[in-house]
Chain A
Amino acid sequence: MLALLSRDLRLAVRAGGGFGLSLAFFLILTVLVPFGVGPDPARLQAIAPGILWVGALLASLLSLDRMFQLDWEDGTLDALATAPVPMEGVVAMKAAAHWLTTGLPLTLAAPVLGVLLNLSGPGRGWLALSLLVGTPALSLIGAFGAGLTVGLKRGGLILSLLVLPLYVPTLIFGAEAARRGAEGLAAGPVLLLAGAITLACLAALPYAAAAAIRVNLR
């Protein structure tokens, strides 16, 4: 399984595609927001946690359709299905690779981009923490969506339609924790709720995603 993880990571870094692309997207989105809502620092500060969370969510959506698509096209997924590793494990590793190449960089970039939106120091810390807790759920949910749509010719569009509503609880708790942190309120309990969602996704979604992939391989 670790071999699988390192293979995916190497492929992601070598191909370059998703890795840099989602970060660049995140940056551009953050730069565009002030053009849309005006440069007033107080207003930017108020919306910064939410904007950065939505931005991170959309950025992690970008590379989802590639998660299984390439392996499906060249038959690697069929080989993996007959490999001794269970499909659930394959899905978990794919999600982990996706998180390491998008979720983690986004988490690290978010505090820096928070400066652009006039986010306070503790606010930047809470934002990074909430993203660290919440983004694994985004990758896992994304793995489920990617598993459902892997056999489709134009799965990308329908993938976002399926996955975005599933992101709602994570977004609510994650962004709420970041907002409360930025405003100096107690953010801990909300963060725990976001963590609970992530853990529940980790426990359940690899099974659902693996079931979907098995259907698609039939």
Chain B
Amino acid sequence: MSIWEYANPKKFMETSGRILPWAAALSALTLVPGLVWGFFLTPDADRFGSTVKIIYIHVPSAFVAINAWAMMLVASLIWLIRRHHVSALAARAAAPVGMVMTLIALFTGAIWGEPMWGTWWAWDPRLTSFLILFLFYLGYIALWAAIENPDAAADLTSVLCLVGSVFAFLSRYAVYFWAQGLHQGASLSVDRAQHVADVYAWPLWLSIAGFVLLFLTLVLVRTRTEIRARRLSALVARERME
């Protein structure tokens, strides 16, 4: 098995059609228990009270929001280097998912920040980076929507994704330089010292797995939709020619 086989849309449709029910079931089987566990079965934290429960949506959505962009970057590179058509469509399919995840992270963070930091919004490095990431998603999606020729759209958005990634990175460090933050450090890391307690960590890991699987499922569904839409427009165009 290699990803190059799946540059053939027909092959991809067959395989993804078989994977899709499993992916959907698996994401439901991790997401629902993870969220239920987090919401109903975890204790309140000393400092944060019951607001600690927001972590089970805030952290996973932020994680997916960043990694969705990374996935788009890889998919764009694969398209640019090897003209892998499905890869370009997968990048397109992932963008709105990543954007919604960014929004969820921003909104839940703002709602949490209101009682905890005493403000909905602060120009904190992490918050600002996420807002900028949201703008990048907007631009990327808008460019896809604006260009009619599908191959040109894939090329141009891929170039934008590459350049945007570099600038997103630069912005991140520029923003850290520019403001000192309120945001806590990593909630989960190999470094035990700053780790959240295990009671919170296990449901959190489960939620993260659920969000990642949900992301994969949605990308599969949306990529299949994009392939069908592409085929549909090709058929319509051919009909007009006849």
Contacts and interface: CB of A to CB of B under 8 A. Distances in A.
A105 interface: no
Given A158-B146, A169-B171, A172-B177, A144 B152 contact: no
A152 interface: yes
A199 interface: no
B152 A215 contact: yes
B170 interface: yes
B159 A197 contact: no
B163 A172 contact: no
A164 B135 contact: yes
A176 interface: yes
Contact of A152 (B147, B159, B163, B166): B147
Interface string B155-177: 11001101110110011001101
Chain A binding surface, main DSSP class: helix
A166 B166 CA distance: 9
A109 interface: no
A165 B175 CA distance: 13
Contact of B143 (A162, A197, A205): A162
B79 to A, nearest CB: 12
A164 B164 CA distance: 11
B163 A151 contact: no
B163 A158 contact: no
B191 to A, nearest CB: 29
B136 interface: yes
A100 B28 CA distance: 58
Nearest to A173: B174
A165 B139 contact: yes
A161 interface: yes
Contact of B146 (A152, A168, A205, A216): A152
Contacts of A215: 152, 155-156, 159
A12 interface: no
Contacts of B170: 168-169, 197
Interface in B70-96: none
Interface in A126-171: 144, 148-149, 151-152, 155, 158, 161-162, 164-166, 168-169
Given A144-B163, A172-B178, A162 B152 contact: no
Contacts of B136: 165
A186 B177 CA distance: 15
B159 A211 contact: yes
Contact of A169 (B135, B143, B174): B174
A208 B155 CA distance: 11
A4 interface: no
Contacts of A148: 143, 156, 159-160
Nearest to A176: B178
A212 interface: yes
Interface string B169-195: 011001101100000000000000000
B160 A168 contact: no
A116 to B, nearest CB: 26
Given A152-B146, A208-B159, A212-B159, A165 B174 contact: no
30 contacts: A144-B163, A148-B160, A152-B146, A158-B139, A161-B138, A161-B139, A162-B160, A165-B135, A165-B164, A166-B164, A168-B132, A168-B167, A168-B170, A168-B174, A169-B167, A169-B170, A169-B174, A172-B171, A172-B177, A173-B177, A176-B177, A176-B178, A204-B166, A205-B163, A211-B155, A212-B156, A215-B152, A215-B156, A216-B152, A216-B156
Shortest 4 CB-CB distances between A and B: which pairs? A165-B135, A169-B170, A169-B174, A172-B174
